[in-house]
Structure 1
């Protein structure tokens, strides 16, 4: 019973914190504790404690007049959302050309924790059914996932390498072997996955960079292993790299 009450209290605190953040607008850029407690019908002490917590997390900041405004953390979050929207918008023409030229479904994906999330997809007549837009696949056994992961910080790579799971028959589950594999991907500039997520499914992915030079996404093709193996891998990689550079340029990268 006590655990349930504690859970309800925590949930209410989260809801009230969200309600506080939603009060801020262009018309109301700064608010005081008394004002917020009145607008939301909260006890003044409760409002103060929630705003102190939000300030400590960078979601609010205190002005010299002891009023509150949205914190700089939102700039970082808005940058993430803007980049994702740009990737989704700018990648479509490149994916269409890839699908037409290579004859396989083409994707653009981003890293989300231990998964790759697909923002955009262009199918061919024989579509790849396993990765609809919005779907997530393990980053460790997909061409797009490894093309992103290979360029991340060492602590991110190590965190994923220590939690590898077997999916397809060729999944790499040894941490040291996986790290060496990512090093090779970083050197060659592309990732080829044969039967790593499912038997009979393969993919090729290359990195996409933003204006800072950071790898923020990957463009890839995926399809039945038989077709991927029989295609001209070198030509597919070259075509994918051209698309990756093209999308990167649209995101402001000119390296």
Structure 2
């Protein structure tokens, strides 16, 4: 049963804004699954309203997901108050701005706003990213209890680029630095050519509830100006904390 649920989720994850319709054979090929198994799962998803049929005998996400989306939107509604701050930060930095939360031992992007300039960042809303090698992730990880940090480390620190921190002691050194300076940097640690600065957003109790970041190509972010850029991100993260009812 658990495996069937996992396979059904994999089917749903095949759909995106770029791939809105898929047939059973296409899904079977994409997932390297038996066609009859895919057909059985797709039929179940269709009967539950999670998929709907198209005139050309393919499937696309069903209207039931709108109900789920509305529920999720209500759950994350307090975070969206930050949109005005984020828009201002995009104009000020002329780079991509993200707001992310800690969810299921990963960082999930809730908001992404881009400037109108070439070379953009290939991130997606709701897609989980690792904690140990993204600026948002490292900020969120750093302000968790030490026991949680050790739990993440114990599961292994996957290498994504030559700059990824993959050793326990090195990550702890990084976390101590982040806690001291109040911001984190991703210097091509998750994706080559990408540079990011992130700062924590706190609730009225002082707990970190999410994080704000500015991301851009390494050649454009200018590492010599990290101090100036980090102050801008910290300032705007504080403004999000002030405006949002956390």
Same fold (TM over 0.5): yes
Counterpart of 1:111 in structure 2 is 102
Unmatched segments (≥5 aa) in structure 1 = 1-6, 12-79
Task: Give secondary structure in 1 for the equivalent of 2:77.
Answer: helix
- Count, aligned residues: 177
Larger Rg: 1
Counterpart of 1:227 in structure 2 is 220
Unmatched segments (≥5 aa) in structure 2 = 6-71
Given candidates 132, 141, 149, the residue that maps to 1:149 is 141
Answer yes or no: is the 8 Å Cα contact 1:169–1:198 preserved in 2.
Answer: no
Q: Post-superposition shift, 1:223?
A: 1.3
Q: Distance in 2 between matches of 1:83 and 1:189?
A: 27
Structure 1 length as normaliser, TM-score? Answer: 0.64
1:165 lines up with 2:165 in the alignment = no
1:187 lines up with 2:187 in the alignment = no
Q: Distance in 2 between matches of 1:94 and 1:200?
A: 26
Q: Distance in 1 between matches of 2:89 and 2:181?
A: 20
1:217 lines up with 2:210 in the alignment = yes
Q: Distance in 2 between matches of 1:231 and 1:130?
A: 24
Counterpart of 1:138 in structure 2 is 130
**Structure 2 CA distance for partners of 1:238 and 1:168, relative to 1, 3 Å:** same
**Structure 2 CA distance for partners of 1:198 and 1:123, relative to 1, 3 Å:** same
Counterpart of 2:90 in structure 1 is 99
Q: RMSD of the TM alignment (CA)?
A: 2.2
Map of 1:59-74 to 2, 5 A cutoff?
A: none
Task: Give secondary structure in 1 for the equivalent of 2:76.
Answer: helix
Counterpart of 1:128 in structure 2 is 120
**Structure 2 CA distance for partners of 1:211 and 1:196, relative to 1, 3 Å:** same
Map of 1:21-36 to 2, 5 A cutoff?
A: none
Question: What's the CA shift string for 1:39-88, capped at 9, x where partnerless?
Answer: xxxxxxxxxxxxxxxxxxxxxxxxxxxxxxxxxxxxxxxxx98673211x
Answer yes or no: is the 8 Å Cα contact 1:91–1:120 preserved in 2.
Answer: no
Runs of 4+ in structure 1 deviating by more than 4 angstroms, as ranges, are: 80-83
**Structure 2 CA distance for partners of 1:124 and 1:248, relative to 1, 3 Å:** same
**Structure 2 CA distance for partners of 1:235 and 1:83, relative to 1, 3 Å:** farther
